[in-house]
């Protein structure tokens, strides 16, 4: 793993400012010079939007930052975001040839540097084709919707993005905390897409303030409504005060600024002993946010520490920031009268390998198997599913068992002029996968509109 230029834990757990400070220019250029400009670059195969990685890195190595930025933005309109939150260790960097014997090229850090450099130096927009007068509706302004909007706007279409919340960005805004992804950076990159000519309409819930019929009247429609429906464990005590889904907890703080209540209207319970259930990125974000709200935080995960699905750097950050990890344990009941005052768990043991390729966790038996943790806030971060509101209202729209919209290889749904991409089609995935599928779908929309 690469060195992270992080602020000291005792300082950064007291505020919501960015933890990773990025690499300085001199280090970025030296790092870029390590790239071998491979004839068959494996790194590109690992990038869901197909950025010409050796191409942009070569320009960085020669100090041509503007040229590097042009190459980067030709395939990715959200580079400062992706440089910060993509799981590069499983994608471009995970495939980099140099990683076999040495450290891979720090592609994410170089991408981030160039994106931030461009913002300072003055952003340059890609060319936009003359107006086609075709009307495209995009539902949802997460990474999928924003990417589809950019592709369709560049093709000269009249693009309108509908977003139900009061601010754009989807999970980038309401889910991923500021200390990992500063909100001014999200806004900055979305603003660039809007400058291509797309119109953003916030506070517009498609299915309520706009009907499905009105939506379907557009020449082409892209559904990017995400997987914002939280799953719950279904254990006793989940209705007690102080129990949150990670989605609600993070939204209250990231979007509604509950950490600054009563200056802002939305409150959130400030726990002293917070228990977070889950082991993914969402659990790590919830735990680190609760830590910044002043709590002692314990993360309860049913498998072993080495099985944690969160990105390795995020787990490392959580450990550095003092989160306690309680692995091989599963909650069975949340305790309390009206409010949470504890959580009962059972120890788990690892048994035969299951469908995920990992040993399957099974509850232990006997008196010693149960234990109780002190808790006044419990946050469940065990996964989320497709947002059902709109997609259930569109007649004839085929959906799979889990509720996600069924699409073909071009992102086309069962309705010919309706496309979908991102988490609503794939189930909860990643920012860059959402962008990759949206880009692909938008290119198919553009081909259809050109016919």
What does the binding site for ligand SF4 look like in residue numbers (CB under 6 A)?
Answer: 35-38, 41-43, 53-54, 96-98, 105, 107
Is residue 160 close enough to count as binding ligand FAD by CB under 6 A?
Answer: no
- Of residues 46 and 145, the one with the C-beta less far from ligand SF4: 46
Residue 376 three-state SS:
coil
Which entry of ligand SF4, ligand FAD, none binds 197, CB below 5 to 8 A by partner kind?
Answer: none
Nearer to ligand FAD, 237 or 422 (CB): 422
Rg of the Cα trace of the chain?
Answer: 23
CB of 115 to ligand SF4, least distance (A): 17
The CB-of-93 to ligand SF4 minimum distance in angstroms stands at 8
The beta-strand segments (E) located in 211-328 are 220-223, 229-230, 243-245, 273-277, 296-301, 324-327
Separation CA 261–CA 191 (nearest Å): 28
How many of the other CB atoms lie within 10 Å of CB of 2?
Answer: 17
347 beta partners = 329
Q: Does residue 443 contact residue 149 with C-beta atoms inside 8 Å?
A: no
- Does position 206 interact with ligand FAD (CB under 6 A)? The reply is yes
Among the listed residues 4, 97, 205, 335, the single contact to ligand FAD using CB under 6 A: 205
In the complex, the smallest distance separating the C-beta of residue 294 from ligand FAD, rounded to whole angstroms, is 20
Could you tell me the sign of the dihedral formed by the alpha carbons of 364, 367, 369, 370, in that order? positive
d(CA 7, CA 426): 35
Q: What is the DSSP letter of 35?
A: -
Asked whether position 144 contacts ligand FAD by CB under 6 A, the answer is yes
Report cis status (omega within 30 of 0) of the bond before 44. no
| Site map 210..229 versus ligand FAD, x via CB under 6 A | --------------xxx-x-
Select from ligand SF4, ligand FAD, none the partner in contact with residue 139, using the beta carbon and a kind-dependent cut-off of 5 to 8 Å.
ligand FAD
Q: Is 383 in the site for ligand FAD (CB under 6 A)?
A: no
Site stretch for ligand FAD (CB under 6 A), options 214-222, 260-268, 384-392, 409-417? 384-392
Residue 101 vs 338, nearer CB to ligand SF4: 101
Inter-residue contact 254 to 174 (CB < 8 Å): yes
Q: Where are the alpha helices (DSSP H) in 14-78?
A: 25-33, 42-45, 53-61, 65-75
Q: Which is nearer to ligand SF4, 42 or 64 (CB)?
A: 42
- Chain residues that interact with ligand FAD, rule: CB under 6 A: 85-87, 139-145, 162-165, 170-171, 175-176, 205-207, 224-226, 228, 250, 281-282, 285, 387, 389-390, 422-424, 428-432, 434
């Amino acid at each position: 793993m690469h060195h992270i230029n992080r602020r000291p834990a005792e300082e950064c757990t007291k505020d919501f400012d960015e933890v990773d400070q990025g690499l300085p220019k001199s280090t970025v250029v030296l790092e870029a010079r390590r790239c071998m400009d491979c004839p068959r670059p494996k790194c590109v195969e690992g990038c869901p939007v197909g950025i010409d990685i050796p191409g942009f890195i070569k320009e960085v190595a020669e100090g041509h930052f503007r040229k590097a930025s042009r190459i980067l933005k030709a395939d990715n309109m959200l580079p400062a975001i992706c440089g910060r939150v993509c799981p590069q260790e499983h994608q471009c960097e995970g495939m980099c040839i140099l990683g076999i014997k040495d450290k891979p090229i720090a592609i994410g850090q170089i991408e981030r540097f160039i994106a931030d450099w461009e913002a300072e130096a003055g952003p340059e927009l890609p060319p936009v084709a003359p107006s086609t007068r075709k009307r495209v509706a995009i539902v949802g302004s997460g990474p999928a919707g924003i990417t589809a909007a950019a592709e369709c706007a560049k093709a000269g279409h009249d693009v309108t993005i509908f977003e139900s919340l009061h601010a754009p960005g989807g999970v980038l805004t309401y889910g991923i905390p500021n200390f990992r992804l500063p909100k001014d950076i999200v806004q900055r990159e979305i603003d660039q897409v809007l400058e291509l000519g797309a119109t953003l309409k916030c506070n517009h819930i498609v299915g309520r303030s706009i009907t499905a019929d009105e939506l379907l009247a557009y020449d082409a429609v892209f559904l990017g409504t995400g997987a914002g429906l939280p799953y719950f464990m279904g254990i006793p005590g989940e209705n007690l005060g102080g129990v949150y889904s990670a989605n609600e907890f993070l939204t209250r703080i990231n979007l509604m600024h509950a950490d600054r209540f009563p200056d802002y209207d939305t409150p959130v319970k400030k726990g002293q002993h917070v228990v977070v259930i889950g082991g993914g990125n969402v659990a790590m974000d919830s735990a680190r946010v609760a830590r910044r709200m002043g709590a002692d935080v314990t993360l309860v995960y049913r498998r072993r520490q080495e099985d944690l699905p969160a990105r390795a750097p995020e787990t490392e950050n959580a450990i550095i920031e003092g989160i306690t990890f309680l692995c091989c344990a599963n909650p069975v009941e949340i305790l309390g009268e009206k409010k949470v005052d504890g959580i009962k768990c059972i120890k788990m043991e690892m048994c035969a390998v299951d469908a995920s390729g990992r040993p399957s966790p099974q509850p232990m038996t006997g008196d010693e198997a149960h234990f109780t943790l002190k808790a006044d806030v419990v946050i469940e971060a065990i996964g989320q599913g497709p947002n059902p509101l709109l997609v259930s209202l569109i007649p004839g729209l085929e959906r799979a068992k889990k509720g996600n919209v069924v699409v073909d290889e071009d992102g086309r749904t069962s309705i010919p002029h309706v496309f979908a991409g991102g988490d609503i089609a794939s189930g909860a995935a990643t920012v860059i996968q959402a962008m990759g599928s949206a880009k692909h779908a938008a290119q198919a929309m553009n081909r259809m509109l050109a016919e």
